[in-house]
Structure 1
Amino acid sequence: MSDLSGIWVAIVTPFHNDATHSVDHAALRRLVQHLRQAEVTGLVALGSTGEAAALDDAEQDAVLDTVLDAAQGLPVIGGLAGNHVGHLHARLAHLNTLPLHAVLSPAPYYVRPSQAALVHHFQDLAERSHAPLVLYDIPYRTGVAMDLHTILTLAEHPHITGIKDCGGSLDKTQQLIADGRLQVLAGEDAQIFHNLCLGGAGAITAAAQTCPEGFMKMYGALREGQLKEARQWQHLLSPLIRALYAEPNPSVVKAVLANQGLVTTISRAPHLAASEEARRAATQVLDRVLREARHIGPESNR
């Protein structure tokens, strides 16, 4: 089974500031190299943070090629989303040709299938996928929540190994972790600390690309049982997380990354670039995080 433990960064897709907002592969390569140097666990490409819905198939293929090449062996999870089953199967057939660590897939959005249909859908994907399948429970995007019984039924499949948990139920999260068959990853950045304290595997996070060292240090502190240090990181990073999601993701994340010289602020319609107010607020919070981070560590626990 592919290990999912750690901090997986859901990366943005950079765009040029041109007439078509074409994909900026040089910036994408620069971002991947930056995260690799920060020693994050792995990357997630073509998720909602990566604006996959705004990319056609050829662009998605090119993004994955760039990410995999720039990752230089750092594990990469590929996103697979949609509501046309035939197209999903065709996309999965292409993903099967790539050296992916796993495939991350939500319920078909908008159509709101039944729980029995969800079981059939994900079991079918798992049978077709060469890489392990990670479920993505995110009802506020798909329109349908995955019931606990549905997820536990899917956990019986040997090729379904994890879940990105945005289900909004702490009780369901705790029961999934206690069951132990799926590696449970926090999908809401504000829940990373809580997930790990309950025994979860880690997180798939967009916020971490703006401050990867801080998120990795919080993860490491919890893995080593340094609860006081981990709490310090949680309290320091929480205002940053709130600031980065003040407007729809990934607009503010891109604005902060632009300030770091990594990408442009451009998002494709229907997203807009972050407001100046949101950009300024998030940048100020990040500056404070970087300034105060030097005071967090084992020495501060003595």
Structure 2
Amino acid sequence: MPVSSSLFSGLWIPLVTPFGAAGQVDHAALAALVRDLCGRGVAGFVPCGSTGEAAALTAEEQLAVLDTTLASASGLPVVMGVGGYRLAGVLDALQAACTRPVAGVLVAAPYYIRPSQDGLRAWFRALADASRVPLVLYDIPYRTGVRLELSTLLALAEHPRIVALKDCGGDAAKTAALIADGRLAVLAGEDAQIFGSVAAGAAGAIAASAHLHTERFARVIALLRDGALQEARTLWQPLLPWVQAVFEEPNPGPIKGLLAQAGRMSGTLRAPMTPASGALLQRLLSRP
């Protein structure tokens, strides 16, 4: 039977992964972060995405991060990031995630390989066939090197377990066509495009910058979905320059730096990621 896409709406947080001074995952800081965000209008959490530095985590660390998130999420749904470029390995990671009570998995195209659209359809169908939970597709060509074309996404929407899309494709016409089609819940993945996407009918957003100012992001999305355009615009316009500044340096450096300034975790990142500059952090702290 088809899986409902209605769960995948509102504001989702793609969690950073805190590290301790010795570089190990700081599970206490992660648990505290998740518990704090639970009361701020968040619809769900996505651990082990690109914001969570998943590529720098071992498979064991990724599952431990998932377990901490699930234990701290107060019943809110959790979608696990699963990625890679070797199908057997990604299938193993998906099956491991499915041993936990996850609401779904977030899966991108295999990076580096740059397959054809036929290859992408086969890739995602193989994962969906093997999964017991819904798939949220992740269209992010500037990380994977390959676009998910509209025809490919519409074909994949026929699969009963492919129900949503994290949209970082940068193609407004494709986004509009997917919203109009209605089979995939479209979640804005580019934070600066949240307002436009949700105003056009997207279901919500997966937004790294919403680690901060979380209630405001959640409120903007809720107002837009209720048709309160002017009130939503009033909240969004002063927030947008801050959102744009957060991504002036590689994510999640600025977000982690801001959380460290607030005393909520270390600002440590794993190589080759580097901390955000002091100048950018000071600028971000002064607004919105």
Measured after TM superposition, the shift of residue 96 of structure 1 is 1.1
1:249 to 237, 251, 261: 251
Deviations 1:46-75 (A, max 9, x none): 000000000001100110000000112111
Measured after TM superposition, the shift of residue 223 of structure 1 is 2.1
Deviations 1:247-289 (A, max 9, x none): 000000001111222111111001001111111111112xxx3
User: After superposition, where does 1:104-115 map in structure 2 within 5 Å?
Assistant: 104-115=106-117
Provide the residue aligned with 1:220 in structure 2.
222
Provide the residue aligned with 2:283 in structure 1.
281
CA distance in structure 2 between the partners assigned to 1:134 and 1:64 by the alignment: 17
CA distance in structure 2 between the partners assigned to 1:101 and 1:93 by the alignment: 13
Letter in 2 for 1:282: L
TM-score by length of 1: 0.92
1:272 to 253, 270, 274: 274
Deviations 1:153-211 (A, max 9, x none): 00011110010011110000000100111000100001111111111101000000111
Provide the residue aligned with 1:146 in structure 2.
148
Measured after TM superposition, the shift of residue 141 of structure 1 is 0.2
Q: Which runs of 5+ in 1 are unaligned?
A: 290-302
Whether 1:68 aligns to 2:70 is yes
1:12 to 11, 16, 21: 16
CA distance in structure 2 between the partners assigned to 1:235 and 1:152 by the alignment: 33
TM-score by length of 2: 0.97
Whether 1:170 aligns to 2:166 is no
Give the alignment's Cα RMSD to 1 decimal.
0.9
Measured after TM superposition, the shift of residue 224 of structure 1 is 2.2
Higher normalized helix content (fraction of residues): 1
Check whether the contact 2:201–2:225 (CA below 8 A) recurs between aligned residues. no
CA distance in structure 2 between the partners assigned to 1:266 and 1:284 by the alignment: 22
Check whether the contact 2:199–2:225 (CA below 8 A) recurs between aligned residues. no
3-state DSSP of counterpart to 2:239: helix
Letter in 1 for 2:104: A
Deviations 1:213-241 (A, max 9, x none): 11011112112221111001220210111
Provide the residue aligned with 1:299 in structure 2.
none
Letter in 2 for 1:10: P
User: Among the aligned pairs, what percent are the same residue?
Assistant: 49
